[in-house]
C-alpha cells in the first residue's frame, strides 16, 4: 500500500471512531462542537498500524527536508504514548538503519525511585520530535517540549495526528516549534 492509501484509510477510521460532534468541554476548558478522541484509533489494531506508517512517513519526509537525523520521539502521556510506540515500531519494521527510539514524558516527575519526568529511550544528543495526538491550544505539546528542553533535548518539530485548527499550530510556532500534522479538522469533518 502507498502512504496516500494508508492516509485515506486512517482518515476513515478516525472519522468512524474518534471524531464526535456535540457540545464538549476540552482539556483547555474551552467549549467546542467537536471532540476528537484519538485513543479510539491509536489503540485500535488496524489504526495503530496505519498511525505508525503515516506518521513515520511524515517524520522521515520532514527529517530529510531539514537535513537532520532524529534520534527519538515522545510526548506527554497518555495521548502521545501509542503514537510514539507505533512510529518507533514502524521505524524498525521498515528497516531503518537507525530506528527511531521512543520515550514518554510524565505530567509530573515520578515520586519515587530516580524521580524521572522522562522515561524510555530519550537521547538528548540528537534532535527530538515531540508527539501529540490532538492539538487545540498546543499547551500540552508545549509542556512536553519544555520537559524535553529541561533534560537537555532540542525539539526539531512537533508531529501531530490531528490539528484542530484552533490556534495550537500558531501557538507552537510562536515558541519556535514547527508543526507537522497528519490531518486537520477540515480534512476530517464534513
- CA 83-89-91 angle, 5° bins: 100
H or E element in which residue 101 lies: strand 101-105
Quote the percentage of the chain above a pLDDT of 70: 96
Does 86 have pLDDT greater than 90? Answer: yes
pLDDT digits (tens, 9 = 90+) for 93-143: 999 999 999 999 998 876 655 668 999 999 999 999 999 999 999 999 999
The DSSP 8-state label assigned to residue 135 in this structure reads: E
Which DSSP letter does residue 171 get?
A: H
Instruction: Tell me the three state secondary structure of residue 180.
Output: strand
Buried b (16+ CB within 10 A) or exposed e, 81-90: bbbbbbbbbb
DSSP-based three-state secondary structure for 153: coil
pLDDT at 24: 86
Q: What is the CATH number of domain 3-188?
A: 3.40.50.2020
Amino acid at each position: 500500500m502507498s502512504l496516500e492509501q494508508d492516509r485515506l484509510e486512517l482518515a476513515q477510521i478516525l472519522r468512524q471512531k474518534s471524531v464526535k460532534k456535540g457540545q464538549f468541554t476540552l482539556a483547555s476548558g474551552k467549549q467546542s462542537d467537536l471532540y476528537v478522541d484519538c485513543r479510539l484509533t491509536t489503540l485500535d489494531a488496524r489504526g495503530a498500524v496505519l498511525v505508525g506508517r503515516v506518521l513515520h512517513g511524515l517524520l522521515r519526509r520532514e527529517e530529510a527536508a531539514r537535513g537532520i537525523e532524529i534520534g527519538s520521539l515522545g510526548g506527554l502521556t497518555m495521548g502521545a504514548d501509542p503514537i510514539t510506540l507505533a512510529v518507533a515500531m514502524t521505524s524498525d519494521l521498515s528497516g531503518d538503519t537507525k530506528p527511531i527510539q521512543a520515550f514518554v514524558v510524565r505530567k509530573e516527575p515520578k515520586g519515587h525511585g530516580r524521580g524521572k519526568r522522562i522515561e524510555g529511550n530519550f537521547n538528548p544528543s540528537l534532535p527530538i520530535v515531540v508527539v501529540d495526538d490532538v492539538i487545540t491550544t498546543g499547551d500540552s505539546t508545549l509542556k512536553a517540549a519544555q520537559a524535553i528542553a529541561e533534560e537537555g533535548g532540542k525539539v526539531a518539530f512537533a508531529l501531530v495526528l490531528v490539528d484542530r485548527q484552533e490556534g495550537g499550530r500558531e501557538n507552537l510556532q510562536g515558541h519556535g516549534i514547527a508543526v507537522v500534522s497528519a490531518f486537520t479538522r477540515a480534512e476530517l469533518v464534513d
